[in-house]
Amino acid sequence: MTRLILILRIIFIVFTIICILFCVEAHFRYKRKVGIDEDKDYTSKYQYFVQAIYDENDQLFGYELLIREYNPETKKWQLPKGVNDFPLNLVAEAVEKQRHQFKDSVRYIAINMTVGQLIDYRAVNFLDWVEGVLPNKIIILELDNKDVLSSTHYRRHQLMRVLKELTHSYPNIRVTIEDVDSSKESYKKLTRFLPWIDYIKFNADTFNKSKDHWIDVTLAQWQRELKKYHIQVILGKIETESQGALAKQLNINLREGYLYQRPQPIKEEVE
């Protein structure tokens, strides 16, 4: 009996030590991890711009928020080299600062996120915050196609789980996969996500066949597949009148690009 008690005590002590080690490891991993809620003087270095999205009637559909980095040498705002570590709390602050500019008729606000940000457990706080700031808006989370494809099998499995949870728990949140190309790889790997996404965004030159650009999957094939899940197509990076005419010819309802509006800086909130 005494020996059994001794064994149980040893097991309890070992289990307790393991739990403590897990807690310590989790604590330091949280402290080291950026991209969700750490502020490293991003306010002066980065700024959010907006770009309008229009529907087939040339009516304003919504805005996409685009991050820009200030270059002190050129004194201009430019696309940052990497924004995977941009903290989501500052994204929420930018949305809150801009909320007064969104007309009631504009219901859709698109925000870019990485796979890593979306599958992080702290993303729930961000989503709850944004929904609270914009209770009457539909929030569109935009994931980059290359980010999804380059993720490991485990991360894609996590992403699938999160997308399912969004469908059931966040009725005002939608998901877009952007910069989708005409390759077989994109078509095969993204097909499994289609039941839980709402938009697919192609670039205007995606289906322009040339010597350097071979089309494996046509727009018609994509449209047939997307129709099964009632997914809308967005045509982005429309820069010329001919590309705008192509969007109308292909019956693509949502359009975005320099032809309609270049990214505009967010104005400071008026007192």
Cα–Cα–Cα angle for 32, 36, 40, rounded to 5 degrees: 70
Q: Is a pLDDT exceeding 90 seen at residue 165?
A: yes
Tens-place pLDDT, residues 65-110: 888 888 888 988 887 776 666 677 777 777 777 777 777 778 899 9
Query: 33-265: which CATH architecture?
Result: Alpha-Beta Barrel (3.20)
Tens-place pLDDT, residues 29-49: 545 555 545 555 555 577 778
* Ordered DSSP codes for the chain: -HHHHHHHHHHHHHHHHHHHHHHHHHHHHHHH--SSS--SSHHHHEEEEEEEEE-TTS-EEEEEEEEEEEETTTTEEE--S--TT--HHHHHHHHHHHGGGS-TT--EEEEE--HHHHHSTTHHHHHHHHHHHSTTSEEEEEEEHHHHHHS-HHHHHHHHHHHHHHHHH-TTEEEEEEEE-S-HHHHHHHHTTGGG--EEEEETTTT--BTTB--SS-HHHHHHHHHHTTPEEEEE---SHHHHHHHHHTT--EE-STTT---EEPPPPP-
Of 174, 176, 187, 193, the residue nearest 235 (C-alpha): 176
Comparison of pLDDT for 197 and 99, the residue scoring more: 197
In percent, how much of the chain has pLDDT > 90? 39
Q: Which of 131-135, 154-158, 211-215 has the lowest mean pLDDT?
A: 211-215
Which pTM value belongs to this model? 0.80
Comparison of pLDDT for 184 and 268, the residue scoring more: 184
Rounded Cα gap, residues 5 and 10, in angstroms = 9
Q: Is a pLDDT exceeding 50 seen at residue 269?
A: no
Most confident of 90-99, 124-133, 192-201, 241-250: 192-201
For the chain, what are the domain ranges? 1-32, 33-265
